[in-house]
């Protein structure tokens, strides 16, 4: 198991190195001038001397390779640079906004697990029944409906037509726990819906395949109850392909967080990233892309480790 984990970790480090280079190159290829965008409202934007001074301040007057070397050295040392748009340290901006995004992800993950896994199990155990058809239709809707459209519909229904929750905004948990939970109810549900539908479909299909195996029939022939057969003999093998789906769903939630935070006016990392893209704030964009890539790599590494734990044959093959 140790060798298997070591190989997967080395692969993740190589991918992270390649992603780092691609992130810097892509940020440089984005059309527009970051300095001119930041100075758009300044009276000095037409003064070449002031523009040159700002370029030198952010190291944008150096050759591309020198910029990459300086940026990478500072990034690895913990200095993620200074935002061209706000003048704040990028690391401080991340620390300030990270708790909001983490709360969004934790809530969305809970919705995904609480809805997806039980729905998939019930659908498999009640195959071809009315309940199964209803669950399949619901999961199809959850997978196919765009997050932004679902958010708009739910805001109209639950915040405008029936004012149960606030339509947007964020209140810190420490300031008002109840209002915090109400304000995060819709964003977390919208972000977790797609993952819940995907998870339910894979749980159902995987569990149906396992329930058709010979050892399941043997367990039933020995007199085990249906609950014992499912929980003790079928559920763990059925979770092997589902683990991979959870990793893919996490990556999808990362992308969906950008839209959700903008629609619900949540001041998290997604909203910060979207603002940085429109402002051509390269230090923030680069740091965000690295953080997102690192997050996806860590989740995939964890999925591979869990895969090896659930199925020892994977460790042997690799």
Distance CA 205, CA 283 (A): 44
DSSP structure class, residue 157: I
Q: Within this chain, do residues 12 and 127 fall inside the same structural domain, yes or no?
A: no
Residues 54 and 112 in one domain: no
Residues 38 and 148 in one domain: no
Q: How many angstroms separate the CA atoms of 103 and 250, rounded? A: 14
Check whether residue 43 and residue 106 sit in a common domain. no
pLDDT tens, residue by residue, 59-71: 666 777 777 777 7
Same domain, 72 and 179: no
Beta strands in the chain (DSSP E): none
Q: How many Å separate Cα 153 from the centre of its chain?
A: 22
The pLDDT, as a whole number, for residue 315 is 54
Give residues with Cβ within 8 angstroms of 104, minimum separation 6: 184, 187, 188, 191, 257, 260, 261, 266, 268
**Placement of tokens 């460790």 in the chain:** 315
Does residue 293 sit within a domain? no
3-state secondary structure of 89: strand
Strand partners, 89: 82
Q: Is residue 92 part of a domain?
A: no
What is the tally of structural domains in the chain? 2
101 and 175 fall within a common domain: yes
Question: Which among 208, 225, 230, 45 has a CA at the least distance from the CA of 135?
Answer: 208
The answer to whether 101 touches 301, Cβ cutoff 8 Å, is no
Does residue 55 sit in the same domain as residue 115? no
Residue-wise pLDDT for 38-55, tens only, equals: 555 554 555 667 667 666
Residues 21 and 144 in one domain: no
For 283, left (φ over 0), alpha (ψ -120 to 50), or beta? alpha
Q: Which of 266, 291, 284, 282 is nearest to 89 (CA)?
A: 284
Q: Provide the pLDDT confidence category of residue 81 given band limits of 50, 70 and 90.
A: confident
| Domain match, 240 and 101 both | yes
Quote helix, strand, coil % in the chain, to nearest 5.
80, 0, 20
Q: Is residue 155 located within the same domain as residue 248?
A: yes
Structural domain contains residue 214: yes
**Segment 107-131, tens digit of pLDDT:** 998 898 899 889 988 888 888 888 8
Q: Which tens digit of pLDDT belongs to each residue from 280-307?
A: 777 888 888 888 888 778 877 777 777 6
How many helical (H) and strand (E) elements, i.e. helices and strands, does the chain have? 14, 0
Of the candidates 61, 72, 80, 58, the one whose C-alpha atom is nearest the C-alpha of residue 22 is 72
Q: Are residues 144 and 67 in the same domain?
A: no
Domain hosting residue 71, numbered range: 2-76
**Residues contacting residue 245 through CB under 8 Å, at least 6 positions apart:** 198, 199, 202
Residue 66 and residue 192 share a domain: no
């Amino acid at each position: 198991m140790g060798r298997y984990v070591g190989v997967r970790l080395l692969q993740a480090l190589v991918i992270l190195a390649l992603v780092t280079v691609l992130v810097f190159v892509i940020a440089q290829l984005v059309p527009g001038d970051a300095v001119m965008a930041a100075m758009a409202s300044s009276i000095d934007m037409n003064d070449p001397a002031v523009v040159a001074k700002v370029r030198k301040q952010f190291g944008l007057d150096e050759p591309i390779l020198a910029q990459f070397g300086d940026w990478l050295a500072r990034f690895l040392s913990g200095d993620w640079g200074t935002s061209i748009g706000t003048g704040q340290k990028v690391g401080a901006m991340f620390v300030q906004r990270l708790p909001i995004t983490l709360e969004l992800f934790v809530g969305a993950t809970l919705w995904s697990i609480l809805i997806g896994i039980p729905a998939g199990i019930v659908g498999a155990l009640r195959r071809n029944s009315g309940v199964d058809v209803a669950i399949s239709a619901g999961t199809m809707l959850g997978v196919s409906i765009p997050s932004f459209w679902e958010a708009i519909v739910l805001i109209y229904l639950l915040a405008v037509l029936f004012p149960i929750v606030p339509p947007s905004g964020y209140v810190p948990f420490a300031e008002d726990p109840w209002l915090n939970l109400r304000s995060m109810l819709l964003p977390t549900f919208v972000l977790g819906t797609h993952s819940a539908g995907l998870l339910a479909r894979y749980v159902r299909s995987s569990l149906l395949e396992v329930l058709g195996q010979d050892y399941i029939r043997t367990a039933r022939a020995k007199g085990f109850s249906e609950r014992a057969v499912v929980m003790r003999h079928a559920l763990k093998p059925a979770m092997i392909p589902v683990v991979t789906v959870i990793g893919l769903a996490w990556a999808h939630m990362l992308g969906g967080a950008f839209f959700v935070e903008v629609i619900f006016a949540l001041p998290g990392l997604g909203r910060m990233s979207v603002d940085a893209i429109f402002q051509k704030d390269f230090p923030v964009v680069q740091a965000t892309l690295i953080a997102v890539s690192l997050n996806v790599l860590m989740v995939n590494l964890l999925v591979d480790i869990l895969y090896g734990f659930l199925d020892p044959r994977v460790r042997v093959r690799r």
